[in-house]
Amino acid sequence: MFNFGFLLATSGSLLSIGMIVLLFVFLYFFMIRPQKKQEKKDAEMRDGLEVGDEVTTIGGIIGKVVSIKGETFVLETTKDKTKIRFLKGAIRTVDVKAADVAAQIMEANKEAEEPAEEEAKKQ
């Protein structure tokens, strides 16, 4: 009386479509989205580059940024002050920010001044 073959065929194709959709959702959340987050983080790192920062390049060269011009920067390496020009895209990591070093120096100076002020008050 009734032909149930049609219902079985449609449910199988719906299952196939559902699996494909599930695959795309999986790819988005586990591959595409994390990659975009990492790209955004890298772009922020490159845009925040300042003179005095210590960086490591993708080639493994470590040095201090001495000048920045557009999409390039000059890196000073060794004690001989060898200077090499790189693209900002060649930065792997910013190891030490110049602002962080300045803040540490200021904090150390404040700590050194406090005992001297206390001694002056005692006398």
Residues 32 and 71 in one domain: no
Full domain range(s) for residue 115:
49-123
Residue written as tokens 């719906």?
14
Residues 58 and 102 in one domain: yes
Domain count, the chain: 2
Q: Report the alpha-carbon distance of residue 28 to residue 100 in Å, rounded.
A: 36
Q: Which among 30, 47, 64 is the end of a domain?
A: 47
Q: Looking at residue 115, what is its pLDDT?
A: 62
Residues 26 and 74 in one domain: no
Q: Report the alpha-carbon distance of residue 71 to residue 52 in Å, rounded.
A: 17
Q: For 116-120, what is the mean pLDDT?
A: 60
The answer to whether 40 and 52 are in contact (CB under 8 A) is no
**AA letter at 59:** G
Question: Whole-number mean pLDDT of the chain?
Answer: 84
Residues 83 and 23 in one domain: no
Q: Which among 9, 26, 47 is the end of a domain?
A: 47
Q: Looking at residue 121, what is its pLDDT?
A: 63
pLDDT above 90 (res 9): no
Residues 59 and 109 in one domain: yes
Residues 87 and 43 in one domain: no
pLDDT (tens digit per residue) in 45-103: 999 899 999 999 999 999 999 999 999 999 999 889 999 999 999 999 998 877 776 77
Which of 5-14, 34-43, 65-74 has the least mean pLDDT? 5-14
For the beta carbon of residue 66, count every other beta carbon within 10 angstroms.
Answer: 13
Q: Report the alpha-carbon distance of residue 73 to residue 48 in Å, rounded.
A: 12
Q: Report the alpha-carbon distance of residue 45 to residue 15 in Å, rounded.
A: 44
Residues 16 and 72 in one domain: no
Distances in whole angstroms, Cα of residue 73 to Cα of each of 4, 17, 119: 71, 50, 47
Q: Report the alpha-carbon distance of residue 38 to residue 50 in Å, rounded.
A: 21
Residue 74 has phi, psi (to 5 degrees) of: -105, 130
pLDDT above 60 (res 4): no
